[in-house]
Amino acid sequence: MFKALVIVCILLGYVYDFATTWLDDSWEKKHALPESVRDIYDEKEYRRWKQYSAEKKKLRLISGVINLAVLLGMFLFDGFAALSRLLPAGEYANALLLMAVWMAIAALLDLPFSYCNQMKIEEKYGFNRSTKKTFFLDALKNFLISTGLFCGLIAVAIACHRAFGSAFFLVVYAALAVFMLAVNTFSLTFMKIFNKFEPLPEGSLRDRLTAMFTQNGYQLKNIWVMNASKRTTKANAFCAGLGKFKEIVLYDNLVNGFDEDEIIAVFAHELTHFKHNDTRHMTLLNLLQFLPVVLLLLWVATDPACLAQMGFDGLNFGMVFIVLFQAVLFPVMTLIQIPMSAFSRMQERRADAYPASAGLGDALISALKKLARLNFANLNPHPLSVKLSYDHPPIAERIRLIRQKQST
C-alpha cells in the first residue's frame, strides 16, 4: 500500500513535469510574441532560442526517464535493501555508507546529462565558458558537499533517535530548520568555494550603490564582483547578509555588459527585496512547507510495518527517510510550488515598483531586456505554466507594470 503510494507519487511528479513542458510548446506555436518584447531577439536569434530550448527540453526528458526508471527499479525490486546487505552492518556505518553509495550512483547517472547540457548545448549556443577541468572539479565538489550534508543529517537523526526515542522527529525537524537557515545565511560562503570574489573598484558605480543603500538605512559591508564569466556568459546579481550589514554580489558579466543606470536599477530592485525581508519570508515558508512532509515521512520511516511493506526491512530509518524524502519531495513540491510561486511573483512585482517610481523605470526595462537576451529567457510562456511554477512574472508583464507605475 505505502509502496504503491510512493510509486504513484513519483510517477505523477514526472507526468506533471512532461505535461508542463508540452504546455509551453503548444502556446508558443499558436501565440505571437507580445509587442513589448519583440525587440529582445531578432528573427534569427528567436529561431535559435527555439532550437536551444527544444534541445534543452529533449535532454531533460531523456534524463528524467532514466532517473525515473532507476528510482522505480530500486523501489520495485528492493534495491536499497539489497545494497545495504553488501555493506558493513553497524547502525551508523551501514546507513551512512548506503547514503554515500546512493548519492554516488545518482551523481554518476546525472554526470553525462549535465556534461551534455553545459559542454555541448550551452557551448553550441555560445553560453559556456567552463573548461572540462572546471566542469569536473565542480561536479566533484558538488558531490562531496551534498553527500557530506546528507550523511550529516542522517547521523544527527540516528543520534537523536537513540537519545530522545520517538520524540526525536522534533529534534530532526529543528536540525533541518537550522540546516536550511545556515545554507541560506552562508550561501555566499558556499559560493566562494566555487568562485573568485573581488571587491568592486572605487568609482562612480560603487559610490552610487553605497549611497542608495545608505539612503535606505543599510550599510554595505562589501561589494563583490564574482568571476561568473569563467563558466557562463549569463548575468546576475544578488544581495546577501543578515541585519543592517549587506553584501552585494555582481556577476562580472553584469559589470562589463551593462551601463551604470541599468546596474543601479537592478540593485534598486534587489534592495526592495531586502526592505520587505523577502528572502527571510521565503525561507520561513520553505521551512513550513516541509513540516507536514517531514512528519509524514518520519512516521512511515520509523514504523516497522510500513518499512516491511516497502521492502526496506533491516534498513536504517534515517536512510529510508532521506530516500523517501528525495522521491516524494519532487511531486509534493510541485503542488506546494503553486501558492509559493504566486507569493514570489508578488514579491517580484513589488520589487520592480520601487525603481519604476524612483525614475529608474527605463533603465530597469532596458536591463531586464538585456538579461532576458543574455539568459535566453522564454518570452512567451503559457499563462498556466506561469501560474504553476514561475517565480518571476514573464518579462512582458513586468514591462507593462513598470510602464504603468511610471505613468502614475
Q: By the criterion CB under 5 A, which residues form the site for Zn ion?
A: 348, 351
Closest contact distance (angstroms) between CB of 247 and Zn ion is: 17
14 or 238: whose CB is closer to Zn ion?
Answer: 238
DSSP code string of 183-210 = HHHTHHHHHHHHS-EEEPPSSHHHHHHH
Q: Among residues 300 and 371, whose Cβ is nearest to Zn ion?
A: 371
Taking the least distance from each CB to Zn ion, the nearer of 143 and 238 is 238
**Residue number with CB closer to Zn ion (17 or 348):** 348
CB of 195 to Zn ion, least distance (A): 21
Q: What is the nearest approach in angstroms of Zn ion to the Cβ of residue 368?
A: 11
Minimum CB separation of residue 269 from Zn ion in Å reads: 6
User: Sheet holding 237-240: strands in order across?
Assistant: 197-199, 219-226, 245-251, 237-240
CA distance 406 to 360: 9
Least separation in angstroms between CB 273 and Zn ion: 6
For residue 231, give every residue at least 6 positions away whose Cβ sits within 8 Å of its Cβ, in sequence order, or none: 128, 129, 130, 134, 138
**CA 239/CA 262 separation, integer angstroms:** 16
- How many CB atoms within 10 Å of residue 9? 16
Q: How far apart are CA 84 and CA 381, in angstroms?
A: 45
Please state, in angstroms and rounded to a whole number, the distance separating the CA atoms of residues 272 and 357. 12
CB of residue 53 vs Zn ion: minimum separation in angstroms?
22
Determine phi and psi for 201, rounding to 5 degrees.
-60, 155
Total length of the chain? 408
> Measured from the CB atom, is 231 or 392 closer to Zn ion?
392
Residue entry with cell 513598470: 402
Measured CA to CA, the distance from residue 347 to residue 79 in angstroms comes to: 44
Nearest approach, Cβ of 221 to Zn ion (angstroms)? 21
Least distance to Zn ion, CB of residue 137, Å: 30
Nearer to Zn ion, 172 or 351 (CB): 351
What nine digits make up the cell of 381? Answer: 510562456
Residue with Cβ nearer Zn ion (177 or 371): 371
Q: Which of 20, 18, 15 is nearest to 387 (CA)?
A: 20
Cell 572539479, residue located: 137
Q: Are 296 and 382 in contact (CB under 8 A)?
A: no
User: Is 71 or 249 the residue whose CB approaches Zn ion more closely?
Assistant: 249
